[in-house]
Structure 1
Amino acid sequence: MSDTLRDAALAVRENAHAPYSQFKVGAAIRTASGTVYRGCNVENVAYPEGTCAEAGAIAAMCAAGDREVVEVYVVAGSPTPVPPCGGCRQKLAEFGAGDVPVTLATVDGAEQRTTVAALLPGAFDAGHMA
């Protein structure tokens, strides 16, 4: 199944708006319904007003009424796989269980597999709000 996510992430990465950094990122997430949502980074000259690829995919998922992430794939044009930023780690933890697989990849095919919990140990969750 990851091939489908990889293809989706690679394709949407091409739509990234990265005129300042030239660092394009694509993300694809699969939900419990089996639907794949995609997102790319969108930079803004007024840093840090841009949007990360993972956040874009999550926003598309929510806009469609889906809520449960079961797999994540993130690809960037870098020499080694790039992990999500701290904010996106928290966003992934909001919608995905700790054991949700996350694949970090380069456009050249290098991959690193991890989980939401490994990316964000001790995640802040609704239980902290009680």
Structure 2
Amino acid sequence: MKNLYQIALQTVSPIKLKKNGEAGHVGCALETVGGVVFTGICIDVPCSIGICAEQAAIAEMLKNRETKIKRIVAVYEDGSILPPCGRCRELMSQLDLYNENTMVVVDFEKEVRLKELLPERWDKKWD
């Protein structure tokens, strides 16, 4: 977890965008079951069209034809760990059945499986 945390922290690179927009104040690193690490940054713009750092990292992973996430962590610019939002949790779960077992870093001393963050799945009958 510490290595993945460091990679996510190094990915953080805040940049100001037009009219109160910003990007890069959250960095994410995910490791696939194949051992490949992908990173992403957040993009926040005033009209709410931004994306989370997790979504950016997932897009990079998918671009490389992988779907199974072993572990994921998102880090804010102050070094704190941010658990994924509900949208990111749902996205990970929709990519691959394996991802129920993805280890999600939620704090410096705590990791939980994605399925613990998404109880009572709405889509279980289609698995």
Same fold (TM over 0.5): yes
- Given residue 33 of structure 1, which amino acid in structure 2 is its aligned partner? G
- For residue 91 of structure 2, what is the aligned residue in structure 1? 91
What's the Cα RMSD here? 2.8
Q: Displacement of 1:119 after TM fit? A: 1.5
Match of 2:4 in 1: 5
Please list the CA deviations of residues 85-111 of structure 1 after superposition, one character each: whole Å capped at 9, or x if unmatched.
Answer: 111010121235322211134xxxx44
Match of 2:56 in 1: 56
Instruction: Name the counterpart of 1:14.
Output: 13
Question: What secondary structure does 1:28 align onto?
Answer: strand
SS of alignment partner, residue 41 of structure 1: strand
**TM-aligned CA distance change 1:15 to 1:60, over 3 Å:** farther
Q: What are the ranges of 5 or more consecutive residues in structure 2 without an aligned counterpart?
A: none
Give the SS at the match of 2:7: helix
> Alpha-carbon deviation of 1:9?
0.5
8 A Cα contact 1:23 1:76, kept in partner:
no
Number of positions where the alignment pairs a residue of Structure 1 with one of Structure 2: 123
**Does the CA-based 8 Å contact 2:16-2:22 persist in structure 1?**
no
Q: Would the aligned equivalents of 1:90 and 1:124 in 2 still touch at CA under 8 Å?
A: no
- In 2, Cα distance between equivalents of 1:67 and 1:17: 31
- Identity of counterpart residues, as a percentage? 25
